[in-house]
Structure 1
Amino acid sequence: MSYDDVREVDPAVADALVGERHRQNETLAMIASENHASEAVLEAQSSELTNKYAEGYPGERYYGGCEFADDVEELAIERAKELFGADHANVQPHSGSSANMGVYFSVLEPGDKILSLDLTHGGHLSHGHPANFAGQLYEVEQYEVDADTGRLDYESLRETAEEFEPDMIVSGFSAYPREVEWERIQEAADAVGAYHMADIAHITGLVAAGEHPSPVGVADFVTGSTHKTIRAGRGGIIMCDEEYADDVDSAVFPGAQGGPLMHNIAGKAVGFKEALDESFDEYAEQVVRNAEVLGETLQDHGFSLVSGGTDTHLVLVDLRDSHPDVSGGDAEEALEEVGIVLNANTVPDESRSAFDPSGIRAGTPALTTRGFDEEAMETVGDCIAKVVDNVGDAEVYAEVAATVEDLCREHPLYE
């Protein structure tokens, strides 16, 4: 893609777009929340639906001329329901955080209580961090993972729930590498009469493909992102039983949002169709296998993994034992210099600042999209270890950068 029309109007933006295309082609995207959408999804998202206001829902719009917008949104809804076995799906949220807002607004009042996973233990800002709207509108108590095992302590969670008496328990994560036992969290919610919202933003694709247990039909509400492990249009989704459908829909519009981003919903529809193909199940299975191999390779090099491994698409590395003088920020910066892009991340019982934490988080969805298999992931793990073992060594950086270049050339992305 040359962006010739953009270049004619705005060469500076065209240069940035071309630069980004080259950056994605020539580096390894290992931020666990990132992926590479197909050309079909990208094309749908850049369609003329960008121009269309469609406030409301299919068949009940506040504007005319919405017949094709209705078609696209209805396709996205029906495909989401088929993928996840959901009674009701709202595909209008602009992001996973917007989806969470829609759920909160549907059944909670300001000042109500939320119990959620602590951010430094793998939770998300929108689960109640004080800097986020959720932490500002609601009274929030947080549960943690077990410091020794790095896994959720369901008994402790239930005890905290019985003491705190929340109106809603939020499950799900942004940096937790193990399967979640949704039923056990639902039991805690039932015990205190709380709603249960399961946030599957990171594992939406793994759930759709059966690579992770589904909370749909277990939790009252399920939210997610549509552009991480599922490779659809960028945005969010809410799923729930029919009894909550009207409340959720009115909380999203007009409660939290105005006009939906119909071009992104078109991308969701296309991406969901791709995910309904059996090849997507093979992809999701490979994502998990690649993460397992990446984690094992790093362990072979002496790195410590939170929880000792992974069941999902991500590994969370705690550098404090193996590299006490290297922060997550140091590692992130060094790896980006050689073309490996991941992020510094807090770890349980974090001892450093959240702005320069003790861990790094690495994901495999994007590399798997490029066709990386177990052998390639071993090479990637070796590269990560070599750089973190030798932070600041220009000779090592040059050697690893050449390997990364070879990997990118062997697994082309957008040609």
Structure 2
Amino acid sequence: MSNIHTATSSMKRLSSYLHSLSQTPHRLRKRMLATWTPEQEFNQVRHRSGADMKRKLKWHDLVALGVGGMLGVGVFVTTGSVALHHSGPSVFISYIIAGISALLSSLCYTEFAVQVPVAGGAFSYLRLTFGEFLGYFAGANILMEYVFSNAAVARSFTEYLSIAFGENDPNVWRVEVPGLPKDYNMLDFPAVALILILTLFLCHSTKESSMLNLIMTAFHIIFFGFIIIAGYCNGSAKNLVSPKGLAPFGARGVLDGAAIVYFSYIGYDSASTMAEEVTDPFKSLPIGIVGSVLITTLLYCLMALSLCMMVPYNKISEKASFSIAFLKIGWNWASNLVGAGASLGIVASLLVAMLGQARYLCVIGRARLVPSWLAKVHPSTGTPLNATVFLGKQICLCVLIWCVVYVLIMKKAQAIIYTRFGYLNFFVFFL
């Protein structure tokens, strides 16, 4: 009898197991498509962090974060190349078109951020609307984009800093490792040190990090103003229409240029990730997000005009266009100043990007799609400490093993597609 009872019990357990196994697709589908209401996000999910982030930021902090996130080195890298090969002197029109596109995108972020003022940005908006799978898919892509692009930007900091000190060799402060591919065999310890310092700042206090960004962004805008005034004082309006007119490559060239310079606007979404730390999100978020795009568009257009006034478009250097433009007008000292200003812009943009990425990971941790300890907010500092330290370590690792990152992921064409893909995930799925 005992054997019969044991066999019956085993059959029941097997039947129960098979039944549970048959329910797996349904459970997966239910979890993947599970959505949350904003009220659940505010009252239940947010408490999984253990403590709330401190609401200390105002609208001017958000404007500075948005401007600081966008005013990196993009304008120095893309303007000369676009003017030379695509838009000619009408490169400022390309910036206007790209700015309008960025403004429309920023309005989407503004609408979502006001309705759902949580720190997760695109991940939170997709998760609340379409479920956790699409939210995680977009959030993971955006996080990877943050980490790899931050590693690339940190390495460029060393190059621009060497220019600021008058060094011709961008690898002068790097350590060469024999046996690795050329140009990717340099260990960049200054970039690692920069990431570690910024990580410590971000762990300590969001408000103090915002103040640091505000100061750096103010100096960076002053630096932009210097370049703009210098271009107008030493340039000529004739260069805007010679040798082949304002738009030598036609309307197609202007639009192609707009698609390229749009990368200079990446970063306007950073303000939306600070929604839980704003004293008045319904007022401050629209001003911060939209205002930063408008200010950046104005600065980019004036910068592009000043470059094309200093040097005819067909004589603009594709690389280091602003530095070489100053050399051509005899301002050798200003060439070094460009390196210093670009270095400052890199630090500000890195600070803002690292602020945003930690909050993305924190909210993904709240959803329990990654280990929940990444969602913890430190009770005294009010910052997502674990997420900030974890991502800081990943960026440092990518900076050190850049040759491996390049071979696996960041080849030039792949990097362009990859960066756009992170943003398209959000808007394509929503539309």
TM-score (norm. length: structure 2): 0.29
Higher strand share: 1
Higher helix share: 2
Q: Which structure would you say has the larger RCO, counting Cα contacts within 8 Å and 6 or more residues apart?
A: 2
TM-score (norm. length: structure 1): 0.29
Structure with larger Rg: 2
